[in-house]
Each structure stands twice: as structure tokens, then as C-alpha cells.
A and B are shown apart, each in its own frame.
Chain A
């Protein structure tokens, strides 16, 4: 089988091929490593590529498969991990200068769950520094480019993970989502990404940004892969106090083409000012498709949508200002060269080690928590969060699934976002409230705009109802034809 054919498989398909001994694990690993060599200079999906370790682990995994020790649905499939998840002995940088030399002593639980199932880790993917950003431009290790058009951003913060999957530099990837960081770049890169209910996937080993909002999830080529990966990474973890013991985690049983009598709500608030016409058209067309398949589709007013962004930035930044305090040059990571005394060392290490966006959010977070402002900002944001949850609770009494766009536009051009942070923050409007309410959300491709950039459809369900969005997304996906991004098809790099 040709390398190109191998790369064309989804993760689940590849695992099947490996099981049937049509494809070897080493071969599959080589197939993506070859693609990495071809396109990585342009795309820059990865911060760290561990070629030797990957090939070595591929051999071991193949042996275990041959011995019948590994039989899982993802055994032998090469994966890329977002660089904010700890991997023992492997550089974990959060795309920050301050962690440029950081090698963890332990591995994140979600990654361990994959390893147990025989995943082959290819390396660590680029991201916005400490997951703060929507474009992967705030990385200290260069921007990641959108494989559909290299002049455009891949979205963020899991831009590296999404670009890697789109460009066939990995069969699937793990991302993390605090305010849309899986769903928005998945939409921009034309891949499928799922943010699970808060507490579903262990956060142990995920370097925290906004602890009460962070959640790890899959980035994949299709809905089947997403459900399969989610099933593997989901686990109740005693090491994470916010981890939840869930009853039914057989997400793949929802891979059914059936939306009859499924009640779908379309929030009018998601289709107002600021939404790009082409995006609007594609998303509403998707709703139409589901309606034709038997779903009951209805418009409604969700309310409070405009308060989600301020509430999110207050809460996430407050938590981040404290979570990132440990990066101080004392124990690990970057320490400034010249300093006199402890406080100068702190100040210089942090000033030099963090990028602009991270510093902006640390300052914002420190401000809203400071004495005299706590009630006015942080407490108010927490109350807003509770109200947003109530608004969703009310909506889910009437609807099984909420349908809307993943982002107001398709991917912006590189260099157009960072000089206007407020505008960039507004781009998170459709994804943020899902994190504030702890809900599961999935985005999947629903068309291309006139520039040839992917448009993402977002489906949201109530807490613990991943199966509903998986089933709806799967049903919609069956009506589509697989589109490969131009870069993935390319045989030679144009250098």
C-alpha cells in the first residue's frame, strides 16, 4: 500500500488495517513522518517531533498487537499531542519561552490512556502560548499555518493539533479547550473536534490555563474517530478532584444515522451582527439537512450571549494569573541571565519568559482578583457564569441539541488579529459559553467559503449528553463528501 493511501485512512480505518496486517505500525508511522518532512517547514504544526522514539514505540506496539496484547480500536495509530500535556521525558513547552527547556517527570492521564491502548506518539503540537489565543500566533516557536491556505491562521489555541490532522501529519491529535480552543481551530482547519463535558477527561498533567474551564478532547478526521478517541481518553481519575465517574461512556454506540424526532434548537442570538454571510448560509443549510433527515428544528432565544465573553475573560484570566505564578525561574524553565536578588530574578525571568498575550492576561487576572475589585469583577463573573448555565438548562428542557456556527468567520489572515485583542476575543463568542456551562460541544466541517476555507458547524448538548451530538454530527457527516485539504494531497513540498 502506498504511503499516500495509508495517510488517507482515518484513525479507526488505520487500526482496522493494522489489525488485518494490511499495514504495519512502523509503516503507518513512517507515512506520517514522511508527510511531516514534506510540509512541516510551511505548516509548523509541531513544537517537538520525536521521530526516533515514535519509530521505536511503533515496533513495540506492533509486537504487542502481534501477541494479541493490544486489541483496542486505536492500537498502533500514530497521534500528536498538544504541547500543554505533560509527557515524561519529552519536552513540554506550552509554546512558551519560559518552558522552552521543560521536561516533565510524569505523563498526563489522558496521554497515558492513549498509550495503554497502543498509541504511537509522534510529538507535541504548537499552540497559542499557554493556550491563550485564538490563532496560534502567540506561540514562542512561530505561527502555525492553515493547511488549506498558508496565508491564513489555523485558529487556536490547539492550532497545531488541528493543522497536523488536516495536513495528514498525524492521524489524530489531542487538543484542549478552555474557551473554544479545540472547536474553533477544528472549524478553521476543516477537521472534527470535540470538547467533552467538564470532568469527563482527566486534567491531571494538563498544564492549567483556566482550571474550571479546561478540558482535553479529540481532534480527528471524522465523527467516528472523535467518538472512538473520546471513549479511550475518558476515565475517572482520583488524581483530578474535578473528574467525574460517568455511567455510560460507550460513545461509539451513538454512531448511528438517525436524527428522527431529535429536537434541535437554533439560537437566534448566534445569527445576529458580526456573523459572516457565507458562514451563516452554510450553517443554516446544515440545519436544513438535519431537518430533512427527520429532526425537529426550531429557532429560539438563548439570551445572555453577550455576557459570556466578559465573564469568560475575567474567570479564565483570574485562574491563569494564579496558575502561571509557578513559572518563576526557581524550579524549572527559563531563568534570566543577570539578576541581583530574588525579586529581580522573579521579575526579569517572568518579563522575559512570557509573551505579550500571556502577560496581558496575567495582569487582567491579577487586577480582577485584587482587593477592592474582587466583588465587582470576579464574583460578578461567577454569577454571570451561573446565569448562563441556567439559560442553557432552560434551553435543554426544550431541545436535545443546540446548533450554530463554531466561529463568526472562517480563518483570518496571519497578522490580522493580534493588534486588536478585543476583536480577537469577540471571535470566541459561540464557543465560550459552552465552557462556562461545562457542556459538551463538537464542531465539524459543513462547507467551504469563497476563499476555499473550511466552515465549521457546532453542535452543543446538555452535560453528559455527548452521544446526542455525536449521533447528530454522524448523521450530518453521512450526507457529505470527504474533502482533503490541498496540502494533504500534495506529493512534494513547494520549496
Chain B
């Protein structure tokens, strides 16, 4: 490669909002459910049915807008986007084109190269489509409208990102913010957060943007990073070969690590947008915005501050724990129960992270109850179990969410504090290891470690290590 290129990326992020009911009817938004059971005349597009806007959708959209420094469009409207596809029962999607609810926002991200502002062009509200199921065996296609009418917001960024790292940082920031607001669970694997990547390349130093492509079907951060790398290389190769990049939509196949063209701009559809006549304009008063602003939950920065002052956590701990709303919730709940913030934090920062890595799990997938973590902290604090046992018990909590009180009891894991029993065991160990005893007596301090280990082994790990150490020293 003779020239130096940079990539220019803008994102369209779809987020499924955490409302209980759909955007235009009162059907449930619950994930799963037998096909077409969460449906009614409205979300199946029956003739004569009419949409009625779910107020909660507007409130969530405003909340996200406020958190991302957007200006709120106080007179906003819905528009119809017309296109034929069977997953869309009316053959039009109710969306926003002309007057989206939020505009001109920004999000600050932090990467290895420092802090950076990513501008947000707009956020608009729209309805999700149903799901097509192709049955190759029967040679037919079926449609499930359970998801039809689930509320979405689409967050459209400006083309401000220059690397996969920035893209991931931006997405993580958005996800965290939206989770903190409670506006969505933002699960990429379940599709409650989806990102389309608009990417172009240009020579470093050029002002004009290159021709961009849009990539769809990206359902994990890793896939996004791989897709950006793949698409960057594909476009640079084209330019290096003297060819042109075609403006088109491409579908990323993460298994093959390759994207292929879905449709080009030439056969792009004319969506014939026009104002939705079945819905009235939404008028958002200053008071309403102020109310939502006042209700905004504590976001990460405020949480970090509080964790440091209220709980005395080090900055590093506060950062890591608050990176995920889920983790912060576990932390706060467990701390409230056991009142040992640093101990709880240690479990989350150490063992939890280790196990997540080992299992290749995301923080959001943590299943255990903070109640059990708090109980474990208490068991270690009052000396009921020692740290070795505690680690073993924690693994059980992490994987099976066991109740540590019951587990420790049933498996006889309580630390033995009975001095008589310890003395008997230690005397036995001294007898069986004369070499180590004489080593210690000859000044080899380390030898005592071996003897402690032997004692612990004989006690099946349940001995109080401090007691073992002091009795040993006494007897030697």
C-alpha cells in the first residue's frame, strides 16, 4: 500500500425500548412467545385499525436525547415510510423523517488516543417489523408479528469516527447510558441493540468523503470490529486497483468474515415518505422536558463520584464497576446488605472478571443474586470460612447462584476454630515431617509455609490459617 488511508464511519444504531407494551397498541413487547400471540388488529395491520402512540416511548426518547445533549423537537411528527415486505403488515413503517424528536447531540468517548466528541445527527422513533421464518422443508415462508410494533429509537451519528476502537467506544458509551436510563437492555445478541455501519475510506489529508457503503447484520461488538476491518480493506483494495467504491448496502457474514452486496443505490427504493395522518403531532412542553430531566437517573459520572465519597472505593474500582449498569446494580445491592463495599468490589473486580473471561461471557450475562454475594462476604468477614473455601463457594454462586449459607453448611466447609483439634492435627504433621521441622529450627523461615500447607491439607482446607500459623510457631 503506497498511500495512507483513513476510515470515516458514521453509525445508525437501533435500540428497542424497554416499554411493556408496543409503540402503537397495548400488545406485550416480551421477547419470545409463541408466534403471533402478542398481536392485535393494530400490529397485524388489519384494515380499519389505527395507531395510538405509547407515551412512554416519547419519554424514553426524550430521556436518551437529554443524556446525549440533543435538542428536543418540541413539535414533532410521525411519517410513513412506504415499502412492500411481508414482515411489515401495513407495507409502511411509521417512522420520523421530517421532524425527528431529538437533534444535534453529542457523546464523549475515550479511547487509547484520548477523549473525543462524536456528534449525533438525530434520534427518531419508529416501529419494529415482524419476523419472517423460511421453512425450506415445506417450501414456504411464515411471518410472526410478535415483534411488529415494538418501539425503536434510531440514533444517527455524524461521520465522526475514524477507527473500530472509536466505534466500539461510542457503542459502549451509548449502551451504558441507555441501560442507566432504563430505556433498553441493549442486548446485541437478542437484537435489542443493532448497529448499521456507514463506512468510507479516503487518503489522509483529503477533505472530501469517499463513497460510503452501509453494512448490516452486525450482532456483536467483535463482529462490528471485524466488519470494519474487512470493509476498510475491501474499499482500499478497490481504490488501489483503480476501481471505484459503489454506494450500496452490504450484509456482513461473520462466519465467513466477508460482506456481500444486498442492494446498490441505483435500485434503492423511493420510500414516498409523508406525514402519518392517523397520528396527531406531538407537542412537547418545557415542563414535560423538565419533568423528564428531573427524573433522569444517576448516570456513570455521578455514580463514580458517589462510589468514591460514599463507599470509599478507589477511582479504578468505581470506573470498572460503573461501566455496566448491571454490575453497578449488583454492587449497590450487595453493599447495602453487607455494608462492606470494598469487599464486594474485590469480588466483582477479581473473581467475577476472571470467571467471565474464562467462560467468554459478557458482564450483562451475570446471573447470580447480589444477596448471595453479600452472604459470602459476611461468611468470610466473620471468619466462618477462609479465603480458599470462599473462592470455591463463589464459583458455585457465579455458576449456579447457590445460597452460600446452605452450601457451606451442607458441605461442612466451615472453618475449624477448635484449638484442640488443630493442635492434634499439627502435632501429627510435625511428627510426619521431621526434615521441614529441622529446616525451620535451623533458620529456614520458609519451611513453616510447607507445614501450614500440610496442616491445611490434613484439615481439608477448613482450618483457620492464622490459628494454624500461631500454633505451629508455638509448638516448634
Contacts and interface: CB of A to CB of B under 8 A. Distances in A.
Interface in B281-302: none
5 contacts: A94-B47, A106-B49, A203-B48, A319-B274, A321-B82
A349 to B, nearest CB: 11
A346 B84 contact: yes
Contact of B48 (A85, A212, A370): A85
Nearest to A203: B50
Interface in B78-101: 80, 82, 84, 86, 89-92
A332 B279 CA distance: 25
Interface of B: 41, 44-53, 80, 82, 84, 86, 89-92, 143, 270, 272-274, 277-280
B274 A374 contact: yes
Given A211-B278, A325-B90, A106 B41 contact: yes
Contacts of B91: 325-326, 328
A199 to B, nearest CB: 10
Interface stretch (A181-189, A238-246, A482-490): A238-246
Nearest to B280: A241
Contact of B47 (A104, A241, A371): A104
A86 B279 CA distance: 20
Contacts of A405: none
A241 B52 contact: yes
Nearest to A106: B41
Most buried by B among A207, A319, A328, A330: A330
B45 A331 contact: yes
B46 A322 contact: no
A211 B277 contact: yes
A232 B49 CA distance: 21
A245 to B, nearest CB: 13
Nearest to B82: A322
A241 B92 contact: no
A472 to B, nearest CB: 31
Interface string A229-271: 0000000001111100000000000000000000000000000
Given A240-B50, A241-B50, A241-B53, A370 B270 contact: yes
Nearest to A99: B47
A242 B272 contact: no
Label chain A's interface by main secondary structure: loop
A369 B50 contact: no
A242 B280 contact: yes
A312 to B, nearest CB: 14
Contact of B46 (A105, A325, A378): A105
Contacts of A331: 44-45, 89
A413 B271 CA distance: 41
Given A108-B48, A331-B44, A369 B82 contact: yes
A322 B82 CA distance: 7
For the complex of A and B, 5 pairs with smallest distance between CB atoms: A325-B91, A369-B272, A211-B277, A212-B277, A205-B48
Nearest to B271: A371
Given A86-B47, A206-B48, 4 more contacts: A208-B278, A240-B50, A241-B50, A325-B90
Contacts of B89: 326, 331
A104 B46 CA distance: 8
A84 B46 CA distance: 13
A105 B90 CA distance: 17
A204 B48 contact: yes
A371 B143 CA distance: 30
A208 B53 CA distance: 18
A31 to B, nearest CB: 31
Nearest to A318: B274
Contacts of B51: 241
Interface of A: 84-86, 92, 94, 99, 102, 104-106, 108, 203-208, 210-212, 238-242, 318-319, 321-322, 325-328, 330-332, 342, 346, 366, 369-371, 374, 378
A92 B277 contact: no
Contact of A325 (B53, B82, B143, B277): B82
Nearest to B42: A239
A331 B41 CA distance: 12
A241 B51 CA distance: 7
B92 A322 contact: yes
B150 to A, nearest CB: 19
B269 to A, nearest CB: 10
A207 B89 CA distance: 15
Contacts of B46: 86, 104-106, 332
B54 to A, nearest CB: 11
B274 A369 contact: yes
Contacts of A322: 80, 82, 92, 272, 274
A331 B88 CA distance: 11
A207 B47 contact: yes
Contacts of B84: 325, 328, 346
Contacts of B92: 322, 325
Contacts of B49: 106, 204-205
Contacts of A318: 274
A86 B48 CA distance: 7
Contacts of A210: 277
Nearest to B78: A241
A208 B90 contact: no
A389 to B, nearest CB: 15
Most buried by B among A239, A321, A378: A239
A174 to B, nearest CB: 13
A239 B50 contact: yes
B50 A371 contact: no
A83 B143 CA distance: 28
B272 A342 contact: no
Contacts of B90: 325-326
Contacts of A208: 47-48, 278
B271 to A, nearest CB: 8
A346 B88 CA distance: 14
Given A322-B274, A370-B270, A104 B48 contact: yes
A239 B52 contact: yes
B280 to A, nearest CB: 5
A101 to B, nearest CB: 13
A238 B52 contact: yes
